[in-house]
Amino acid sequence: MSASNPPHNPAEDEDAELEMLAEDEAEEILDGEDAEGDVPMGSDDEGEEILLQNDSIAYFDGHKDSVFAIAQHPLYPNLVATGGSEGDADDAPGKGYVIDTSAATSRPVLPPSYSSDPSAAASAAGQTTSLSPLFAIEGHTDSINALAFTLPRGDFLVSGGMDGRLRVYAVDIPSNPTSAPPRFTFLAESQETEEINWLSPCPAAEYPNTIALGASDGSVWVLTIDASDKTNPIQITQSYFLHTGPCTAGAWSPDGLLLATVSEDSSLHVFDVFGVAAAKNLVTDNGQTVVSLTDADQRFAVEGGLYSVAVSPTGGFLAAGGAGGAIRIVGLPRLSPSSSSQPQPQSRGSSSTQKKTQATQAGTILASLALQQDSVEFLAFSPLPSTPSSSAPLLLAAGSVDGSIAVFDTARSFALRRHLRGAHDGESVVKVDFVRSPASVPAAGWLLTSCGLDGVVRRWDLRGATASSQQTSADSNAGLVKEWRGHRGGGEGGGVLGFVQGETGERIVTVGDDGLVLVFEA
């Protein structure tokens, strides 16, 4: 007998009879005919069934719990790794999968509706393709919350967990990928900290298969993977211990020579990982960084901590975002020749910033922004124009817990260009990312994809009039190109926790708090 149907106890019937209401105490007595039939639900029960729109063309439902992390192979974007938890217990193990999204096929434009049950959502009337895993990522004793393929060729897949473990898998892709599936082989494991918060692969071609991680104890580690060294395949390149609070985010400069990290202690450090800045005498007194800013400098201080960081594609400055909507723009030294003719931003009220040398500009606070009402959780710069004649400016997008997205024009002293106040219906914006190489050339540099805890993925075209103080809430979301629904959203057990979209943005793969991985066609 199931737990929901306990054994019958006759003594309970006697108690029930003693507690039964008298007829004159009842508010309403049903006649025999109504009593034998079903009683209609009251108004309090209305709306219990929630119908959701299913726009996905494929799904993977092998995860048993929330999916926190997603990564995409740099050369074969159809290969996607996902990772999460296998349960809600404190000691629940983490698990991940590698899936091939190329099996997803297009479907009719008009999507069906389905109930809010995730299992029913995933199998909606056969309208979407069910994806099977190529490989299972195992060995973590706690949730996987970070994944990355190494650069430049995706030779290794790296998983990081809340157990502090970093596990590395060699990726072997056949010369003819259509003839045989790729193979993933466990290589080695490393544990340098108690909990890994993020992973970021180094983009420098001269330092391949190098990856950085930030930890909950504030430490930052840079590791290089060398499968040819059988005794020590995961080698420590650098380790840093300057943050006094959890390290919440990290980002490499485009040339891969500098690593910027931020922390809940409101500090920003930009590390000279490979000693290039030191050789040019551009490091600070600690000998490790080219920029070190903390809340001891009241101009930089952000009460409540920093939670996001992004380096501009020019390499000349970065943006650090944190509590209360605060964003700080900080200058960086240029260690390699710039591939862009884009001008550098000027600090507000100053026309001399651009005339400063790279050495003196390093660490200069070029702008302090505070438009949004809650923490800035994600920052992204638009790509550099593909042609010198392109009219697309260099934009900075900021996603906030207040549900809004703010877009700033870096060439105009970070003037506000667009404030999408209701971008995700009051739910936290989890990620924003520009489409790098869209099929539609006129929109190059203008297309932005976002996801949020409302369970929706949206794409925006940021062309058009710049924002103004007269912008109304009605037009604040102008520029919405398309949205995709399929994840449960809002409240506990819902929301999109991440996505990848390749360079072209033609196919978006999402992971959700509902345990689903969905593929959308743009």
Distance CA 63, CA 498 (A): 15
- What pTM, to 2 d.p., does this model score? 0.83
Q: Which of the two residues, 323 and 23, has the higher pLDDT score?
A: 323
Phi-psi category of 139—alpha, beta or left, where left has phi over 0 and alpha has psi -120 to 50? left
Question: Average pLDDT of 127-147?
Answer: 94
Tell me the backbone φ, ψ of residue 512, rounded to 5 degrees: -135, 165
Q: What local confidence, expressed as pLDDT, does residue 242 receive? A: 98
Distance CA 262, CA 94 (A): 26
Percent of the chain with pLDDT over 70: 75
- pLDDT, one tens digit per residue, over 217-237 is 999 999 999 999 999 999 999
Q: What local confidence, expressed as pLDDT, does residue 18 receive? A: 39
H-helix or E-strand spanning residue 14 = helix 10-18
Is the pLDDT reported for residue 69 higher than 70?
A: yes
- pLDDT, one tens digit per residue, over 483-492 is 999 999 876 6
The three-point CA angle 151-157-161 to 5° equals 120
Question: Average pLDDT of 279-292?
Answer: 96
CA 282 to chain centre: 32
With beta carbons less than 8 A apart as the criterion, state whether 255 and 216 touch: no
Distance CA 172, CA 183 (A): 5
Q: Which of the two residues, 137 and 48, has the higher pLDDT score?
A: 137
Is the pLDDT reported for residue 188 higher than 60?
A: yes
Is the pLDDT reported for residue 200 higher than 70?
A: yes
Is the pLDDT reported for residue 210 higher than 80?
A: yes
When pLDDT is cut at 50, 70 and 90, the band that residue 466 belongs to is low
When pLDDT is cut at 50, 70 and 90, the band that residue 387 belongs to is low
Tell me the backbone φ, ψ of residue 58, rounded to 5 degrees: -160, 160
Distance CA 422, CA 137 (A): 37
Distance CA 512, CA 66 (A): 6
Distance CA 421, CA 419 (A): 6
Is the pLDDT reported for residue 35 higher than 50?
A: no
Question: Average pLDDT of 289-296?
Answer: 97
Q: What local confidence, expressed as pLDDT, does residue 103 receive? A: 84
Sign of CA dihedral 470, 474, 476, 478: negative
Q: What is the 3-state secondary structure (H, E, C) of 60-122?
A: ECCCCCCEEEEEECCCCCCEEEEEEECCCCCCCCEEEEEEEHHHCCCCCCCCCEECCCHHHHH
Question: Average pLDDT of 210-214?
Answer: 98
With beta carbons less than 8 A apart as the criterion, state whether 352 and 361 touch: no
The type of residue at 193 is T
Give the highest mean pLDDT range of 338-352, 377-391, 400-414, 455-469: 400-414
Q: Which of the two residues, 456 and 385, has the higher pLDDT score?
A: 456
Lowest mean pLDDT among 34-48, 198-212, 283-297, 492-506: 34-48
- pLDDT, one tens digit per residue, over 166-178 is 999 999 998 886 7
Distance CA 27, CA 21 (A): 10
The CATH number corresponding to 49-191 among 3.40.50.1820, 3.40.50.620, 2.130.10.10, 3.90.79.10 equals: 2.130.10.10
Residue 178 makes CB contacts below 8 A (sequence gap 6+) with: none
Q: What local confidence, expressed as pLDDT, does residue 43 receive? A: 41
With beta carbons less than 8 A apart as the criterion, state whether 362 and 282 touch: yes
Strand order in the sheet with 247-252: 247-252, 258-263, 268-272, 289-293
Lowest mean pLDDT among 32-41, 63-72, 149-158, 195-204: 32-41
3-state secondary structure of 411: helix
Percent of the chain with pLDDT over 90: 67
Is the pLDDT reported for residue 24 higher than 60?
A: no
- pLDDT, one tens digit per residue, over 394-418 is 999 999 999 999 999 999 999 999 9
Is the pLDDT reported for residue 1 higher than 50?
A: no
CA distances from 305 to 99, 232, 268, 374 (A): 36, 36, 10, 12
